[in-house]
Amino acid sequence: MPKPLRGKIGGPWFNGRSVSKERAYLVSFAWFESGAAGVQEVHVNFRGYPGRTAIPVCEDTLTVNGKTVHPKLACFSDPRGSKRFGATKVTVYTANQGADLWHVLYAWHHQGSLYSVSEHVTPPYTYKQVVSNLDRIMRGLVPLAPSA
């Protein structure tokens, strides 16, 4: 069974970070093991879209009639209701794109910005366990002031 991921940038489970020219950011944590129990993975993403509240747009790659096309689509889709964690109301999404592909994703707004946390649904965790993990993450989130 995986060790608990600790959300420490630069820590053993830190999987990378990126910032777009629009200042949107992604911070990722992952644990991976291959052995007698098969391949197991825990992958959690945190995203922020400062100053933006709309769901971002992603680009897909498809082959249609032998031609490659790149349709635009919402990065988070298939909303499955909402949950409340204190004053924060999240929308649960189950069909996501990009780094959140195959993840359950919780998205919320705070002070004019969109934020999300997601986790990949894959062994050792079931969908139900991933939702439980995300609930625990949301209950433990602490807002941080931006650094200069």
The tens-digit pLDDT sequence of the chain (148 residues) is 555 555 556 655 556 678 888 889 998 888 877 777 777 778 899 999 999 999 999 988 888 899 999 889 999 999 999 999 999 999 999 999 989 999 999 999 999 999 999 999 998 899 999 999 999 999 998 877 766 5
Residue 79, token pair as written in the block: 């909303």
d(C-alpha 6, C-alpha 30), whole Å: 10
Is the distance from CB of 26 to CB of 99 less than 8 angstroms? yes
Please give the structure tokens belonging to residue 100: 């959140």
Can you give the residue ranges of every domain in the chain?
Answer: 14-140
Q: Residue 9: its pLDDT value, please?
A: 61
Phi, psi of 71, rounded to the nearest 5 degrees: -70, 150
Residue 1 has a pLDDT of 52
What is the pLDDT at residue 144? Answer: 73
CB 106: neighbour CB atoms within 10 A? 24
**Which of 74, 25, 27 has its CA nearest to residue 48?**
25
Which pTM was predicted? 0.85
Tokens representing residue 64 in the block: 């249609």
pLDDT score of 90:
98
Residues 70/59, Cβ–Cβ less than 8 Å: yes
pLDDT of the residue at 50: 93
